[in-house]
Amino acid sequence: MLTDYHLHLRTDEVGKAADAFTQENADRYVAAAEEQGIEELGVSEHVYRFSDALEIWDHPYWRDQAVDDLGAYCEFVRTTPLRLGLEADYVRGAEDRIESLLAAHDFDYVVGSVHYLGEKGAVDDQRYDVWDSFPDADSLWGAYFEWQAELVRTGLFDIVSHPDLIKIWGDDRPAPERDPRFHYEPFVEALAEYQIAVEVSTAGLRKPVGEIYPARALAEMCLEAGTEFALSSDAHTPDQVGFGYDDALAFLEELGVERICVFEHRKRRTEPIGRTGLQQEELDREEAG
């Protein structure tokens, strides 16, 4: 089986929910997945697109974005073949409020993300650049993976998304002087204890860093800690569904990973990795001739 669980039906523009949450739009994603032999598809819209999120955190970006209705989104997704997920930010100190928001809906899974280190700024948005708040790359990387560890320890999430998003800018930002494995350590310790799934995300291939999240060394440490992986593209448009999956499958194979996580009503199981039969035959034929 292949999954693509971290999908956005909505682009980053505000006020487009009416266009995004339609049967036609969902069908475009489903068709793209079928073409690629991806059996399990789920949508995980950003929590901060929904007005309820302002109870969790009051940030200028969130205030701009938080216009959609979370209940309506959940109801809509249940009318489609898509699994119902949510990409929820971990916000330090807001654990109780995150918990009650998540408990109010019957999600299949919740993807936990660190996009912001609180008021210090954003990892992946230059308008609120977190790099301005830290003296050097090592202190920032250290703080980022502490946040990731805290996210895991809340026990509120099923999957930790883009696990080393901090590398997003690649060579445009200084690299830490320490071996990155030193910075990964607290995060991996939390994973060993809490056993939430780690996302293998091909989104990094579309970003300046040009590589899959997580880095190979981090993935190896996760494996040693007994972690299981979830597979996603973080697509924001149908043409990005299953983006870079050949690379992701090669990456997982090299690591010796043979099963991926599947979620239903927040229960996890694993399935053997592989495209659905017909699509694999077609892809093989294309390659052969």
Which residues sit at the interface with Zn ion, rule CB under 5 A? 87, 113, 234
For the bound state, the minimum distance from the C-beta of residue 210 to Zn ion, rounded and expressed in Å, comes to: 17
Nearer to Zn ion, 32 or 279 (CB): 32
Nearer to Zn ion, 108 or 234 (CB): 234
Give the 3-state secondary structure of the chain: CCEECCECCCCCCCCCHHHHCCHHHHHHHHHHHHHCCCCEEEEEEEHHHEHHHHHCCCCHHHHHHCCECHHHHHHHHCCCCCEEEEEEECCCCCHHHHHHHHHCCCCCEEEEECCECHHHCECCCHHHEHHHHCCCHHHHHHHHHHHHHHHHHHCCCCEECCCCHHHCCHHHCCCCCCCHHHHHHHHHHHHHHHCCEEEEEHHHHHCCCCCCECCHHHHHHHHHCCCCEEEECCECCHHHCCCCHHHHHHHHHHHCCCEEEEEECCEEEEEECCCCHHHHHHHHHHHHC
For the bound state, the minimum distance from the C-beta of residue 6 to Zn ion, rounded and expressed in Å, comes to: 5
Nearer to Zn ion, 10 or 275 (CB): 10
Pairing mode, strands 259-264 and 267-272 = antiparallel
Nearer to Zn ion, 88 or 188 (CB): 88
Nearer to Zn ion, 64 or 177 (CB): 64
Nearer to Zn ion, 28 or 259 (CB): 28
For the bound state, the minimum distance from the C-beta of residue 161 to Zn ion, rounded and expressed in Å, comes to: 5
For the bound state, the minimum distance from the C-beta of residue 42 to Zn ion, rounded and expressed in Å, comes to: 12
For the bound state, the minimum distance from the C-beta of residue 43 to Zn ion, rounded and expressed in Å, comes to: 10
For the bound state, the minimum distance from the C-beta of residue 272 to Zn ion, rounded and expressed in Å, comes to: 26
